[in-house]
Structure 1
Amino acid sequence: MRNRDLARLRHLRTLDPVEDHEEIYRTVVQYEFGWETLLGLNLAFYRTFGIPAIAELLYSTGEMTERTRKRADDTGLLMYELITHGLESERGRVGVRRLNQIHRRFDIRAEDYRYVLATFVVVPTRWIEQTGWRPMCCHERAATVEFYRRLGALLHVTDIPADYAGFERLLDAYEAEHFAPTAAAEALMTATRGLFAGRLPGRLKALAGPVADTLLTPSLRKAVGAPTPALPVRMLVGALIRVRATAEAWKAPRTEPYLTLGTAPSYPNGYRMEELGPQSPE
């Protein structure tokens, strides 16, 4: 039983999921499923650690292990700038240009680019289906696909799947073939697990590792060297997520965006888009 006003969902269903994909996806991310999408995007990023070639590249830059907080802020800010303002806005164009500048420095395989796109489409969607206060509708899912298809094209990614089912097949097949444990993956997970601890109250920090590991799938835990948390921890985390979803279903719709841009822990006085991401060596 849900008592939450579904007027916003009814409005989204009047829009075209291709022509209006940015409005629909922005609403999903900032209003309908703010917490779920933010955590889902983080889980999507964690999955890339399971691909040895990606893990080795991320580890080799030192950004994730030596400047973990800044690296996380940069990634989050760039993504949410694009989502909030739109890919064709002035800030969106600057953000896309910045992403291209960052990535052209590295030798990244086309199939790895496609896999990363698939994680951003599929992992948050599955997480919302698993933990959200309601399921995503077909328009919301189609708009998510269209947003990342458009972003991929702007980043010069080729052979992008045409629909959600295609992204799912790509992700599942690529992980089945390539997921493997590496020292780089374990180091990356250890570094980012520390960020998760920083978000918890003092008395809960000791549980940050097991809680974070509970959110990973068994195949990803194996790839990043994470232990399987004890059954009571897994049951507690699952119960808390279900309680949260039930509470959300009875709340009034959000009227303010879930994340407000402008500052971040690494940029308390604000930032310029050109500052986000690793800077080119002089």
Structure 2
Amino acid sequence: MRAVGAAGRRRAPDHLRDLDPVVDHHRIYRHMVLREFWPEMRIGLNLAFYRTYAVPSIARLLLATGELTRRPLKRGYDTGAIMYELISSGVDDPRGRQVLALLDRMHRVHEISDAEYRYVLGTLVFVPSRWIDRFGRRRLHPVEREATFQFYRRVGTALRIRDIPATLAAFEAEFTEFERVNFAFDPAARTLIEATRELMTRRLPGPLRDRAWACRAVAVTTDAVLDPPVRAALGLPEPSRALEVAVHGLLRVRGRARRFTRVRDTDHWTSGQPNAAYPDGYTLDQLGPDRLPDPPLSSR
């Protein structure tokens, strides 16, 4: 297996023993998302999208599309389905290429800089990984970190995002600097937050959806897991120290408890599966905005 820095010499889990993080990046990352770390990845990927609201230019664009405010349920489930379809299939699979074409058509109509594209790509690399390190069943192995980077580097290249750094360390340095320079509050973020919280409360069990205390619990718990720079940029109040300690403590206990559970040898996600937005299941052509330009993957 190719070395991944000095830390790469740390003993790898058995399922990684004969895998290369560059050659086998999709196999490694797919296992992380759909099997071993599936609950942590689900939260981490959601937090990755939430984090983009802290960048005013991205927040204003998301609000201007109207998808999240007019159709939050469909927008939320579409985002998840698109991501999981791509992770499940991979960049080289025909279904994966169909998803990439959909992503390209969705985004090409907007004025988005390569720096913004790279930042969004970076949230998918770093936010879930950091979440797993803090609250997962174990910390990620360097091979898994490198495979995650390689997967999204392939995705970015397929979408013709320019100047993606060549190494994980360089990408993280750029990601950190982008946040330092660009994080700021914008009123668009407040509207997006309210729409996202509405979606989250609609996913609560039926009897809790109309309970004010349950909706409030969703809001304060979400605020407690965001780091201070994000809360400040989103204009959210600082949670009490007691609440933050309690929420983080429960998450760590949950992660430790999961160490004693067996990793399934089947996926925790199925393509086209029914959900609240698509009770009878979905096909790829149902995902995304209703109107999209036709030609796939043209040059930007």
Instruction: Give RMSD over aligned pairs.
Output: 1.8
Q: Look up the match of 1:226.
A: 236
- Following superposition, the deviation at residue 61 of structure 1 comes to 0.9
| Structure 2: distance between partners of 1:190 and 1:138 | 37
Quick one: distance in 2 between partners of 1:67 and 1:230? Answer: 33
Q: Give the match for residue 263 of structure 2.
A: 253
Pick the aligned partner of 1:278 from 289, 292, 298: 289
Does residue 152 (structure 1) correspond to residue 160 (structure 2)? The answer is no
Q: Aligned pair 1:163/2:167, yes or no?
A: yes
State the alpha-carbon separation in 2 of the partners of residues 57 and 253 from structure 1.
39
Match of 1:29 among 24, 29, 33: 33
- Counterpart of 2:58 (choices 40, 50, 54) is 54
Offset of 1:264 from its aligned partner? 2.3
The residue correspondences of 1:135-214 to structure 2 (distance < 5 A) are: 135-201=139-205, 202=208, 204-214=214-224
Secondary structure in 2 matching 1:87? coil
Aligned residue number for residue 216 of structure 1? 226
Cα shift at 1:132: 0.9
Q: In 1, are the aligned partners of 2:40 and 2:132 still within 8 Å (CA)?
A: yes
Q: Displacement of 1:172 after TM fit?
A: 0.8
Q: Deviations over 1:5-59 (max 9, x none)?
A: xxx9312231111111110000000111111111111111111111111110000
CA distance in 2, matches of 1:251, 1:261: 25
1:17 paired with 2:17, answer no
Q: Distance in 2 between matches of 1:11 and 1:219?
A: 36
- Which 5+ residue runs of structure 2 have no aligned equivalent? 1-11, 294-300
Q: Distance in 1 between matches of 2:57 and 2:286?
A: 26
Offset at 1:199? 3.7
Distance in 2, matches of 1:192 and 1:246, equals 29
Matched-pair contact (CA < 8 Å) for 1:17–1:143 = yes
Equivalenced residues, count: 276
Q: Are 1:110 and 1:157, in contact at CA under 8 Å, matched by a contact in 2?
A: yes
Secondary structure at the aligned position of 1:260 is classed as coil
Report SS of the residue matched to 1:269: coil
Alignment check: 8 A CA contact 1:121 1:145 kept:
yes
TM-score by length of 2: 0.88
Match among 118, 121, 142 for residue 122 of structure 2: 118
User: Which of 87, 90, 94 is matched with 1:86 structurally?
Assistant: 90
**Structure 1 CA distance for aligned equivalents of residues 117 and 153 of structure 2:** 12
Question: TM-score, with normalisation over the residues of structure 1?
Answer: 0.93
Tell me which amino acid in the other structure corresponds to 2:62.
L
Post-superposition offset of 1:186: 1.1
**Structure 1 residue 153: Cα displacement:** 0.6
Corresponding letter in the other structure for 2:38:
G
* Contact 1:197–1:209, Cα closer than 8 Å, also in 2: no
Identity of aligned residues (%): 44
Contact 1:200/1:208, CA 8 A, preserved across alignment: no
The aligned amino acid for 1:261 is S
Partner of 1:3: none
Separation of aligned partners in 1, 2:69 and 2:52: 15
In structure 1, C-alpha distance between the alignment counterparts of 2:215 and 2:245, rounded to whole Å: 18
2:287 aligned with 1:265, yes or no?
Answer: no
